[in-house]
Structure formats: structure tokens, C-alpha cells
Structure 1
């Protein structure tokens, strides 16, 4: 806020330090401010600038205590301008998913801190303007609809200076917005944490630019219920028999002519037998596979093709092209694959061949398989391969659950945790925290092992 109620007092000398310093004191709208200078000449010069601003009738900012003439440059940078600078700094090194998350969070944060000005657009329009036209670097020169142009102009005038976040009330307003959906209801805990993390990093950048002395979000702590569940729900994990039936059922989807399910049987098999992520399976090339006629083979996981959307990738394709998750550039993961998966991949290549760039899994036109396509096939495969009560349950509800089943099966088969972690592309800590679950249908076997360990031949019922 701005105020014309300004009083500038005489210089005072601080003799409590080894060398005396000179203090310039003034008040804005009843709130006192001060600034220390090493020499009297510097203090006099700064005080003269304040008096000159008062004589000219310039408004003073109630947060920083400074007139516009002294707040120029970095100190006057708005939250909108900071968001743009932060996105520019991060864009080239961020993955497509990170870009989407970054723009989503900042599209919520920026409209939360604006001046009360006439002609304010709806929040939905402001978020769309930021997310689709202002923040993405490659979208700024695109032609804008009239309502978007008006929203951008309003934001440029109304966005508050970053310095306003020195006011704790403004920080609370920002945090409240990060935790709400468009309809005003509370956002999911994971959504709030993701938005807050992005906004926190943007404000850390403001600290680097010396726009803020400290990150204001450190002052506000909000309890948002329990932490997101980390462990895999054991109810989603299929046993080997169920996995085989589901992989077979996938071939029924689409019939013989369309072959939409047969195209994806080996894709699902990579997740179950080699613990690949969907994006890693989509990135597999023929040259990445060693597929002998008999025995075990191996795949080299080098590239991942996660679905991200055309707006966030450098190539304009719906799938990003990245290295392995949380690994250095050029790092690979070699995974031994059992004979059933070797046979699947050989049969797949014999029937469908590889794409022009060598990718094993591709659509009829040679494109990367869309996530909507393999989800649709998987939904139908569950209907064919599971019992009616299992179809309505969470058992293997998503293709990714095949990866969970694979890692669980490895662990329950006695494979050492470090080797499982290496094959799955995890740290041992993450592996034991998330994936150490028993397979559906092995409870009786586990109970029998426990009874043998207790020295009992069979379980005894007690009334």
C-alpha cells in the first residue's frame, strides 16, 4: 500500500558500536522505519532524498517505507515479473513434467497477491493467461484471445511488488491460495505441497536477487493432515498366476484385426518381468535388447518417454525425451530378463517390427503409444482376466501396479535388496520404504514359514 503521511526526523548517532554510525529515521502512515549509515555524509544524503520525495508529493510504500524513486529497479520488481524471471532461469534444464508443475503453481501464486483494481478478471481467466501464455517461454509470442490480453494487462498493473511479502498478512494470503482449488475447497495435500515447494523455490530466487532478506514462507507453517502414503498398497499387487492371465487377456483386446492389445502385451510384460516404468518401456529400442533363442536375456534401460503434453516439451511432441529418473545424463540400467519376457519381445518384433527410430513399442503409425491408449487396453484386459469381484477392486488397477508386483516378487523370492534396487532403478532406502510388500495370494505361504520357524508342524486353532 501507499501513503502520503510521511515524517522525516533528524539524524541520530549510534555510539553503541566500535565506530559511531548515523541513523536516518522516518515514519510512513504511523509506522517507523530506519536506515543506518557509516558516515554522517551518507546519512545526510539519504535523508535529503527522503525530504525531496516528500516535497514532490511522492507516495511512500507502507511495507518498505520508501518512495517509488528509491524503490526502483530490483526492489520494485512485481511478483509477476519475478515468476517470469524464475521460469526463464529454470526452463531450459527442467523436464516437461517440472515445467508443467512450475507453471501450475506460479499461476496460482501470482493472482493471489494483487492490488484491488477495477476490471479484475475471473481467477480462472488469470490462471489460464499465466499458464498458457505468460509463463511458458515458447508461448509468449503466440496470438492471445481478447480476454487473455485484458487479463495480462490487468496483472501487469495489479501484481504486488515482491517486497510486499515482508508483510506477514500477505504471506498468509499466499499460503491460503496455494491450498485452495478454484471453487474454494481445500486442495489435496500433495497438490498443496507441490505448489508450496515451487513457490518456495521462486522466493529463494528472490532472496538470491536481494529482493528479500529471507524467504517469507519460512515464517508460516501449516499442518495439512498426514503425509502422503509412501508405501505401495499390497492390495494392488498381483501374484504370478494373475499376472500371466492378465498379460494373456491383453491379447484379446481389439480383436485379431485391430491388434491393439497384442501390440501392448510385451509392453505390459516389461513392467511385470523387468520392473520398467511405462516411460522406460516406451523408450526401449531394438538395439537395447539382447534376446537369445533360449534362456535369459537382458535389456539396457537408457531413455524414458514420459507423457507430458505438447505444451511442455522442447520437441512439441506429447512425450518428453529424458534420461533415467533421478540419474545423471548418460547413465544406463542393465536388467536381466527371464525367458517369458524374452519370448514376448521376440514375438512382438516378429509381428510388429520396430519403429523407424528403433523403438519397440509404437502405434500403427509409428508414434509413441499414448498413455490413454495403454490405459484403455489395460482396463479391458482386467475385465477379461480377473474375477468380477477383483475387477471392482484395486487389484492391478493401473499398469504401473505391474512394476510393484515385479519388485515385490523379486523381494519375496529372496533376491537381495541391493540387487533389486539396482534392477528397479531405486536406492535401497526407497526400495525398502515403498516396495517391500508381499504378493497377493502368498499369505498362507508366509504363515507356513512362520509356523516352521516357531517349530510347529501345523497351525492350531484356539477358541
Structure 2
């Protein structure tokens, strides 16, 4: 238990909550604001008197609950699940990418409202998630000011949240697993989503084991089948070279300027197997673009899109190290003459931003994923047949990367070299990418027939 003598008291304040007058006792423990609501001023005064008497007697206060040690019920010793989840997020904040922070919070938006006692006047699920999203799961400096309704929702969560120790019980963990198995709308969640949320719950409990709150991870004791997730590329999404060229040729025809500005970016995804966020941060200094022959890209950073509240800069896009790579580690990708020519033409037409980025909006910003998607879907309508448009063929810009890797593998490039260029481990490459290129079925069947006839 973490205790302190740092206690400061505030005045009791009246507050109207949905037409009912309540009195709020406020005090701070180790700099953290604490509050408790009472129906009458007399009850609030009595509670504050108990706190003051404990402090006057030199009693320690529990940092997790804000109460004097003498007022802690035996079962309430230790943090609540809400408090531990908040500490978990903040502990990982400085070491995590924006998307990781958002993924952690997304899992906790399911778990925290589920792991509560049956208390009266429960706010709606949406209100609970909103106060967690904009306030409780953020560092203090990033927290939004709460409306009276949000403050009431947070107060309810603080009172109702189960003790972390309750997760040692099988029925509580099954409640948690049930919560992550459905969407916020109550429909079954996708396998990948469930697996990610379970992994976060498991990791959170591993932190609790480290802090001696459990002797071992209680989630390991639960017999629960993790849903199988799709981990291989669907061959139906992969375009052949002719289809890729038709799509890239169609991109500049979309819109007045946006399509033209994005053509070379999509070309980088196809010809160099860049991830979209890697192409978004590509800079002139990263490129060797000779007048003839092959060129070279040396990737340094990626520029993923995130929600502002989760990024370090507070902006939607920010540069960070490459995926699955150490800080300042680079990746080299030789690029064919056709991509060299497209990049040279793009730079000659649009120049670069002040920080050297090749791809940007007219005002120097980064295109959003929705902008990428819009242009791509319009290009599909121009380049593909109606049947192909209705299919999953190249449904996303990212599918160009799948096509690139599949093409390299089918061309006989050694798996080690393909993995090096694509930024994968060989194990992941061989597990995820099949030799799937549209239009090769007959060719492959003929090869098998030839082998059978020998």
C-alpha cells in the first residue's frame, strides 16, 4: 500500500445533480484531487471531520483511495481496477506510440465499465466511455475539463470500480472476457479485436504480478478459447502488374489536384512495398534518384495518423521510428526506374515541404487516411471492371504493398531479401504472404501438370 502524509482539505460545496441537491466533500492526497458526494450537508461535514481528525492524529492516508488507513475496509485495501488501469496507461505513455496508447485505451473502454459493482444511478455506457476517453485515461495535462454530467459519471466509476484484487476471481475475469468479446454496440467483435484486447488485459495483469498484487497471472487459469484471427493475405485482394498500372494511371484523374499529388505516393506502396505511413514521411534526403537506372530509398521514419489526444505533439500526424525497429534504425529499398521517374516528376512539379517531405497537401500538411481512401476508391471505379469493383481486389491502398511482396516472391527473389526490403522478419513473411497474384492460377496449374507428366 502506498501511503502519504500529504493531505489538504477544501470546503464542502453544494451541487445539483439531475435536480437533486448533493454536497461534495473535496480533499487532496499526494496532490491528487479526491471527492465524495453526500445527500445532506451534515453527512458531508461528518465525513470531513473524520478525515481532519485522522490527519491531526498523524495518520497516514492511502494514495489509491484517498482515505486514512483506519477508514479502509479490509476488502478495499489496494487500488481499484480503474485506478490500476489509469496507472498502467500512464506508466506506458512515454514508451508507446500514439496508436499503442489508443489501442490500450480502447481495450480499457470495454473493461473498466464492465468491472464495476452494482451501484445505483449508473450512467450510460456511452457517458462512461466518454469520460474515460477525454479525461481519466489521459495524463493530467491533457485532460479535458469535465461537465457536471461527466464529473458525475467519473465519480460513479470511482465509487463502483471493483478492487483490482477481485480479478483473482474466475467469474470476474469471465465478465471481463465477455466485455471484450462484443463491440460497443453489443454485436460480436472481430477476432483480431478480441485478441488485441485480451492481450492488453493479460499485460495489465502481468504488471500487477510484478507489483506483488498477484502471485501469478490469474488470466492464465481461465479456460477460454482465444478466437482465431486471419493472419494471411487474401489472394483475392492482390492485383497483378497490369492491374496495378491501370490503377496508378487512374489516380491523377481523381479530383482537381488531390489525385495527382497522391499518385507517386501510391506508386511507392506498390513499387517499393512501403507502408502508407512510411511513404507519408519520405523525404528528399532519403532518396537516390538517378536520371537512368535503379534508385534507392533509405527509410528513416514513418508518419502514422493518430488521434490528437494520443500523440506527443497533439497533432494528427507525427514522425516516429519505423515499425518493429529500434530508434534511428533505417531500411534500404532499391527502387525500379519507373518509380525513380515518377518521384523525379513529382518533386519537379510539387517540390518538397520545409522539412523535406515529398508528399504533402497544398498547404504542407499530411493527407488523412480518409483522403487516401477516397482517391483510391474513385481510381478503382475508373480502372477496374464492375465485377472487380464489387470484389475485394485492391480494396485498400495497403493492398498494393501485399501485391508488391507477392510479386517479389513470385519472381524468385529470396525470402531473406524480400523480408529485408519489406521490413518483416522472414518468419512473418512466410507465414503471412502467400504467392498470390491475380491471373497466375492457370500458370501454376500448368506447372503442376508438367511435374505430374514427368
Is the 2:235–2:434 contact (alpha carbons within 8 Å) kept by the matching residues of 1?
no
**Aligned pairs (5 A) from 1:48-67:** none
**2:426 & 2:143 partners in 1: Cα distance?**
46
SS at match of 2:379: helix
SS at match of 2:357: coil
SS at match of 1:415: coil
Match of 2:423 in 1: 425
Match of 2:145 in 1: 143
**1:289 & 1:268 partners in 2: Cα distance?**
16
Match of 1:118 in 2: 120
**Aligned pairs (5 A) from 1:20-99:** 69=72, 71=74, 75-99=77-101
Is the 1:303–1:324 contact (alpha carbons within 8 Å) kept by the matching residues of 2?
yes
**1:185 & 1:447 partners in 2: Cα distance?**
42
**2:135 & 2:377 partners in 1: Cα distance?**
36
Match of 1:192 in 2: 194
Pairwise CA distance, 1:141: 3.9
Which structure's CA Rg is the greater one?
A: 1
| Shift in CA distance, 68/177, structure 1 to aligned 2, threshold 3 Å | farther
Pairwise CA distance, 1:371: 0.9
Cα RMSD after superposing both structures: 1.9
Pairwise CA distance, 1:138: 5.1
Structure 2 residue aligned with 1:370, among 339, 358, 368? 368
Q: Which consecutive unaligned segments of at least 5 residues does structure 1 have?
A: 1-65, 457-463
**1:297 & 1:183 partners in 2: Cα distance?**
49
Query: Could you give the per-residue CA deviations for residues 314-352 of structure 1, whole angstroms, max 9, x where no partner exists?
Result: 111112322111111111001000000000000000111
Match of 1:283 in 2: 281
Match of 1:271 in 2: 269
Match of 2:168 in 1: 166
Match of 1:16 in 2: none
**2:304 & 2:435 partners in 1: Cα distance?**
26
**1:363 & 1:454 partners in 2: Cα distance?**
55
Deviates more, 1:209-218 or 1:354-363: 209-218
Pairwise CA distance, 1:429: 1.0
Pairwise CA distance, 1:369: 1.4
Query: Could you give the per-residue CA deviations for residues 249-272 of structure 1, whole angstroms, max 9, x where no partner exists?
Result: 111111xxx221111111010011
Pairwise CA distance, 1:274: 0.4
**1:307 & 1:141 partners in 2: Cα distance?**
21
Structure 1 residue aligned with 2:408, among 398, 407, 410? 410
Across the two proteins, how many residue pairs are aligned to each other?
Answer: 386
Query: Could you give the per-residue CA deviations for residues 88-143 of structure 1, whole angstroms, max 9, x where no partner exists?
Result: 11011011111001111112211212222222111221111112210111565421
Match of 1:232 in 2: 233
- If the length of structure 1 is used for normalisation, what is the TM-score? 0.80
Pairwise CA distance, 1:87: 0.9
| Shift in CA distance, 249/137, structure 1 to aligned 2, threshold 3 Å | same
Deviates more, 1:236-245 or 1:168-177: 168-177
| Shift in CA distance, 302/104, structure 1 to aligned 2, threshold 3 Å | same
Query: Could you give the per-residue CA deviations for residues 125-179 of structure 1, whole angstroms, max 9, x where no partner exists?
Result: 1111112210111565421122111111111111121112232222222221122
Pairwise CA distance, 1:186: 2.4
Query: Could you give the per-residue CA deviations for residues 337-382 of structure 1, whole angstroms, max 9, x where no partner exists?
Result: 0000000000000111111110000001100111111111100111
SS at match of 2:333: strand
Is the 2:264–2:343 contact (alpha carbons within 8 Å) kept by the matching residues of 1?
yes
SS at match of 1:261: helix
Match of 2:357 in 1: 359
**Aligned pairs (5 A) from 1:192-271:** 192-225=194-227, 227-254=228-255, 258-271=256-269
Do residues 156 (structure 1) and 158 (structure 2) align? yes
Is the 2:112–2:161 contact (alpha carbons within 8 Å) kept by the matching residues of 1?
yes
Is the 2:134–2:143 contact (alpha carbons within 8 Å) kept by the matching residues of 1?
no
Match of 2:7 in 1: none
Is the 2:80–2:161 contact (alpha carbons within 8 Å) kept by the matching residues of 1?
yes
Match of 1:30 in 2: none
**1:138 & 1:163 partners in 2: Cα distance?**
26
**Aligned pairs (5 A) from 1:253-402:** 253-254=254-255, 258-402=256-400
Is the 2:136–2:143 contact (alpha carbons within 8 Å) kept by the matching residues of 1?
no
- If the length of structure 2 is used for normalisation, what is the TM-score? 0.81
SS at match of 2:297: strand
